[in-house]
Structure 1
Amino acid sequence: MNKNDFKLKVFSLSERLYPMVARMLGNATSTEDAIQDIMMRLWDKRKHLEHHPNITGFVFLTARNYCIDVLRKNKSIVDDATPYLKVLKSGEDHKDVEWEELNTIIQNVLKALPEQQQEVFMMRDIDGYAFTEIAVAMAITVEHARVLLSRARKQIGIVLENTYSYERGDY
């Protein structure tokens, strides 16, 4: 794989990697360093990449594994999704309180979910990845990724329904 092929097929994916890496590592500086390290590792493996059947999947899997290695090395797990769950707020104070309450409820539900469900939910609904990309990055099947997302959404829905139906008096 020459320099131009690498730019087109691999380096062009660095912008799509950014949300996942940022979520996993937690800050912009670490994310930028990680993206650079990941690209350097992929550059070193460029001869093997040109014959790989799914280059995009390999790039995402490499990025995810790199982040997991960094987190294990630092022994700090980032589970605060606050920056990614923030919703544009309206000018009304009571709406701000409602959005903050909703975000807090969702964050608490996410923390209680199994790790795979959390990750699939974040990658699909927050980062916007396709099921095929999620499946390759997590080394699972597309069907399993869909099931994990469905279960996560269902659990979030149950908690939200219980919370808000209680407030309506429908219990």
Structure 2
Amino acid sequence: MDLEEFNKRIVVLRPTLMEAAKHMNGNDASAEDLVQEVMLKLWSMRQQLDRHPNPKALALNMLRHKTIDEQRHKQLEYGRPTAEPSSEETTRHVERQDELRLIGEIINRLPALQAQVLRLKDIEGYETEEIASITGASPENIRQCLSRARKTIRQEFIKMTIR
């Protein structure tokens, strides 16, 4: 990969990497350093990038590993552990997982067409017309199935969580 190709395929990922680094690290200066290190590493392996199926995923993965390495280094340097989630965050995460599991169970109990329409619309992001062509139902029927499925999920979820 020459400089021009590297600029077209890799350097354009820099804003994405910066956003991810800021999100992972929270420090703009440190995020810039991490992104720069990843870009240098990608440049040094530019010959292999031609054969890589997803350079963006590779760059983001490298950034994640660099961030983890930096956090470990800071932990060793300052002799204290890096921030761990609070018990409140952990509790909320567990509650969220339970809620998602319950919703999944409710969806599995819906009539087949309602479950399929709900998954296609809300999970996979299909438009009503696309769902109509996939299922063979009319767009009006799709909207009705979607409304009924959402109503059933809401009612069943409330019943299951009030106990």
TM-score when normalising by structure 1: 0.47
Q: TM-score, normalised by structure 2?
A: 0.49
Q: Which has the larger radius of gyration?
A: 2
